[in-house]
Structure 1
Amino acid sequence: MAGGKTPHFHNDAGHPRIAIGVKEFMCVGATPPYDHPHVFLDMGDDNDIVCPYCSTLYVHDASLSAGQTEPAGCAFDIAADAA
C-alpha cells in the first residue's frame, strides 16, 4: 500500500468472516488492550486469508472501500488508539 496508510482491522465481536475492500492490511485481533501482535497480511492473488493469531477469515470484496467492512464496524482507527 505504497503512498498511504495500511488499513487495520479488528474482530472484537468474534465474527468468523469479515469482508474487506483491500488485499493488504493489518489485523490487530481485538481492540487494545486485548489485541494480538499487529500482523501484516497480504492476500496476493487469493481472495481470502486467515489471520495466524486470531483465526479470523478475511475475504476481499471489491465493492467495499478501504475502510469498509462487512459486517460493519471492524475497521480499526489507528489515530484513536494513539490518543
Structure 2
Amino acid sequence: MSDHIIPHFQNDAGHNAISIGVKEFMCVGANPPFDHPHVFLDMGDEEEVVCPYCSTLYRHDASLGAEQTVPAGCTYSDPVVAAAE
C-alpha cells in the first residue's frame, strides 16, 4: 500500500490550465456525475501534462502545496470519504 495519498483534482469551471504543487495526481474531470474515468497522471521530468480525457493542462508549480491549485478550488474531495473521516 502506498505511504502517501495521491491528490485528486477537478475542473468544474472549465479552466484551460491549472497549476498544482505535485507531479503525480489523479484527474477526475468535473465533479460527479459529470466526471470522466479517474485517471492517474505523472509529469515525470516534465513541468506540465494534459489530461487525455478532459484536455485540462496541468502545470507544476513547486511553490504550491500538495492540495493547492491556481486558480483556487480545483482540488477534488470525495464526499463519501470525507463523511467517513
Fold in common (TM above 0.5): yes
Give the match for residue 32 of structure 1.
32
SS in 2 for 1:76: coil
Per-residue deviation at 1:4?
Answer: 1.2
SS in 1 for 2:37: strand
Amino acid of the residue matched to residue 28 of structure 1? V
Per-residue deviation at 1:20?
Answer: 0.1
Percent of aligned pairs with the same amino acid: 68
Per-residue deviation at 1:81?
Answer: 4.2
Aligned length: 81
Unaligned regions of 5+ residues in structure 2, if any?
A: none
Give the match for residue 77 of structure 1.
77
Per-residue deviation at 1:42?
Answer: 0.1
The CA distance in 2 between the partners of 1:18 and 1:81, in whole Å, is 25
Question: When the two structures are superposed, what TM-score results if normalisation uses the length of structure 1?
Answer: 0.93
Give the match for residue 46 of structure 1.
46
**Structure number with bigger Rg:** 2
The CA distance in 2 between the partners of 1:34 and 1:75, in whole Å, is 15
SS in 1 for 2:36: strand
Question: When the two structures are superposed, what TM-score results if normalisation uses the length of structure 2?
Answer: 0.91
- What's the RMSD between the two structures over aligned residues? 1.0
